[in-house]
Amino acid sequence: MRKKDVPSLVKDPHLIDMRRAQIVKAAVQLFNEKGYHKATTRAVAEASGFSIGTLYEYIGSKEDILYLVCDSVYDEVISRWEELLDEKLTGRERLSQVIEAYFRVVNDLQDEVLVMYQESKSLSEEALRYVLEKELRMKRMFEQELTRAKKEGLVTLTEGEMSLAAHQILVAGHMWTFRRWAIQRDYSIEEYITYQLRQLFTGFGMKEISSS
């Protein structure tokens, strides 16, 4: 799936990236407060620190803003996640770290992740397919780690269960944002990681772990 071409009247790639980062940051806050449909492009421009005319030098439409938000959030989640991973780890420690690192990145980017999943349905069909393909990339990364763990004899998942288990990890991370109004009232991120790892690993056929 090819990345959407967001039009820009500006030709300097560095300036485009910088301005669009400002737009994304402002849009995330506004979309969280008002929702995508109620937040105007003028409000996004003002929150970004420039005029509506300047805003349209870097985008072609309001949907472009939402697309940039979704696209950049996925990229940042994956980038930060990969930075936290220690390639030297193996076995249980590696699988624990892979999942824990994902949860911690989601915790750091709660507002961005929440907007992405609540509002991505407003994207055009083609843009939505591209964004969802990025989520499937994340799912496949988890599936690869589970396959590695199975080869090491750590999990007892069948081939049919492997894909669903990868989805379960993704959803467990999402839940920290979707249900934060309740969950974060009762649990710290440390407790959440510990309990989720315990439940996930039990479902994967691993012995119970005492901590993350």
**pLDDT at site 212:** 42
**pLDDT at site 44:** 96
Q: Phi and psi (nearest 5°) for 188? A: -85, 165
pLDDT in tens, 117-126: 889 999 999 8
The count of domains in the chain is 1
Give 145's contacts (C-beta < 8 A, 6+ positions apart). 94, 95, 98
Residue 209 lies in a domain: no
**Sites in the chain below the pLDDT cut of 50:** 209-212
**pLDDT at site 209:** 46
Residue 3 lies in a domain: no
Give me the domain span that covers residue 180: 13-204
Is the whole model's pTM more than 0.95, yes or no? no
Alpha-carbon distance of 57 to 131, in angstroms, equals 23
CA R_g for the chain: 19
**pLDDT at site 3:** 77
68 residue type, one letter? L
**CATH number for position 31:** 1.10.357.10
Alpha-carbon distance of 90 to 110, in angstroms, equals 29
C-alpha dihedral sign at 131, 134, 82, 33: positive
